[in-house]
Chains A and B, each alone.
Chain A
Amino acid sequence: MNRLRAQGLGLGYGDRLVVEGLDLEVPTGAFTAIIGPNACGKSTLLRSLVRLQPVREGRVELDGRRLAEWKGKEVAKELGFLPQSSTAPEGIRVEGLVRRGRYAHQSVLGSWSPADEVAVAEAMQAAGVAELAHRLLSELSGGQRQRVWIAMVLAQQTPILLLDEPTTFLDIAHQYELLRLLHGLVAAGRTVVAVLHDLNQACRFADHLVAMREGCVIARGTPVEVITAETVQRVFGMAAVVVPDPVTGTPMVVPER
């Protein structure tokens, strides 16, 4: 049974509904990529799954219970979220930021248990920032910084991770590095949901695709099922041919002309 799901979801800003009547199941233990054109409501949808976007209609459920009924810290032990961009306190160091990921697990005065220490060390190791531990965040490159944010969310040790366009602002090498990291997390048993812009990357790394347009899900399924010339046309309004990726054999979108 899938842990995170949404039914009849209506989301909006002001009196405008951006998402209407949307149903979604996040397959547990898989990598789900949400794709779609700009302003199709994918970020809004993702944010509603972590309680950052108020639910107007319908419901978001975790383990069959409405998300709104969960306590903040209890949700924070199940769902980790990485926003599109984040602000760090001035003068913070890498390890200090990763430690903030343990917030939900700590007591009022913030003492550190051995489990906290292990989680922080493992998260920095997994994200490849262990050797940067004592550096100032402001001294790091964009790619390194993004890995530190990932490490912070990993330290939260949530079975489910949601990431809003985690590859934006990264160069292509760092994009693939990050996606391999997320893929590794899924292989290790976690559930990952990410909003991605690059269809070919989504096809390579995701197990499950959700294609959205104007607040509705147009197609969902495996990359092979979803990424066809017809769907690309319907979702993005762009003529393209779909060929097998020469390296992985997954669908690859090549725009016509």
Chain B
Amino acid sequence: MSLTLPVAPGRRLRLDVRTALVCLVLALLSLAIGLVSLCWGSGWDPPGDVLAALRGEGPIQISVTQWRMPRIVAALVFGVALGLAGAIFQNLTRNPLGAPDIIGLDAGAYTGVLLVFTLTAASEATIMLAALAGGLSAALVVYLLSSGTGFSGLRLVVIGIGVQAILTAVNSWIILRAELDVAIAASVWQAGSLNGLDWVDIDTPVTVIAVLTVALVLLARPLHQAALGDDLAITSGVRLERLRVLLVLLGVGLSATVTAVAGPIVFIALAAPQIGRRLAGAAGVPLLPAALAGALLLTGSDLLSQWILAPTVMPVGVVTTGVGGLYLLWLLTKEIRR
């Protein structure tokens, strides 16, 4: 069933009712988890105190607005970014395994981060650029090694998994060779963590992700048209080569931005687009459900990571790896049987 909304004289937008409802529910759940997380610090603070803190009153004001809030905003925005990045690559590769955290792009981004981190006095900007360069280099390597098959198919995914393994080993080697303090910081980071994120840490990445998301919205139509296969995409008017380059840039940009700040948080990009697609019952891998499922997964995982071993806070990547690993096993067996 679909709803139509008039947007201009005679022109209507079509919205699928189920997709819209699913998106609404995912968004509300993400916000609800965000609110619960706001109440969770070294222990449980009553929502009344937290609301007071948000109004700028009470004893826990600093910890709510300066410590917990940026972390929750980061979880929501980074979740959206990872969900979108996954949806981009799953659409490009036409394979549910084609996610940046599986085909080595996140690991590549992290290699870039580690290199500038250990070799130079890294600034926020150089780390972001290094992550982007690392992710794009990994994408190029995967693409070249699987050339002849275009950008789709299981072949690219399998090669990507190989590249991922190599890069992960490289990353460990860099950490082993690094100075002790750098190594400790880097190895915690390698798990993917939102711990200790501050407003100053996240303002630039959030802005970058917002800009990339707007650009992606403009490419959403050709992205979905391209799901019809190369031939029909081109003959129905998609500029496919240009589209692919732009989408790889956007996809790597989104996931590398997250990696630069929080390390490689794996499995969100893999799982969120498929969860969104199944819930929405939509065709292909739709973007908005993927983004919102990503936000829900990351906020949920982040809350879990604070709860499980409380008062010790685990890196959120440990939770997503644990949950996502099982999902990946299931998906791999399903894909290979196909």
Q: A-side interface residues toward B, CB under 8 Å? A: 47, 50-52, 72-73, 75-77, 79-81, 83, 86-93, 96-97, 100-101, 103-104, 106-114, 152, 156
Contact = CB atoms under 8 A, between A and B. Distances in A.
Interface of B: 4, 7-8, 10-14, 94, 218, 221, 224-225, 227-229, 231-232, 234-239, 277, 281-285
Contacts of A86: 228-229, 231-232
11 contacts: A50-B234, A76-B236, A88-B228, A89-B283, A91-B283, A100-B224, A109-B7, A111-B8, A112-B11, A112-B12, A113-B11
Nearest to A79: B235
B13 A72 contact: no
A156 B284 contact: no
B231 A111 contact: no
Contacts of B7: 109, 111
A156 B12 CA distance: 19
Contacts of A104: 236-237
B234 A52 contact: yes
Given A89-B224, A109-B13, A112-B13, A72 B229 contact: no
A112 B4 contact: yes
A93 B224 CA distance: 14
Contacts of B234: 50-52, 72
Contacts of B277: 90-91
A165 to B, nearest CB: 13
B282 A50 contact: no
Contact of A50 (B12, B235, B281): B235
Contacts of B14: 112
Contacts of A114: 10
A100 B225 contact: yes
Given A109-B221, A112-B4, A87 B229 contact: yes
B44 to A, nearest CB: 41
Contacts of A50: 234-235
Given A52-B235, A88-B228, 14 more contacts: A76-B235, A83-B229, A87-B227, A89-B224, A89-B283, A96-B283, A100-B236, A103-B225, A104-B237, A109-B221, A110-B13, A110-B221, A112-B14, A113-B10
Given A52-B234, A100-B236, A89 B228 contact: yes
Given A72-B237, A104-B236, A111 B13 contact: yes
Contacts of B239: 72
Contacts of B227: 87, 89
Nearest to B222: A103
B63 to A, nearest CB: 42
Contacts of B10: 113-114
A152 B233 CA distance: 12
A156 B236 contact: yes
A108 B218 contact: yes
Nearest to B230: A52
A63 B12 CA distance: 33
B322 to A, nearest CB: 27
A46 to B, nearest CB: 11
A20 B89 CA distance: 39
A73 B237 contact: yes
B210 to A, nearest CB: 18
- Looking at B221, B227, B232, B237, the one whose CB has the most chain A CB atoms below 10 A away is B232
Contacts of B238: 72, 103
Nearest to A87: B229
Contacts of B281: 91
A67 to B, nearest CB: 12
Contacts of A89: 224, 227-228, 283-285
A27 B232 CA distance: 24
Contacts of B235: 50-52, 75-76, 79-81
Contacts of A72: 234, 237-239
Contacts of A109: 7, 13, 221
Contacts of A93: 283
- Looking at A75, A111, A114, A152, the one whose CB has the most chain B CB atoms below 10 A away is A111
- Looking at B94, B225, B229, B237, the one whose CB has the most chain A CB atoms below 10 A away is B237
The 5 closest A-B pairs by CB, nearest first: A89-B284, A76-B237, A92-B283, A104-B237, A73-B237
A191 to B, nearest CB: 15
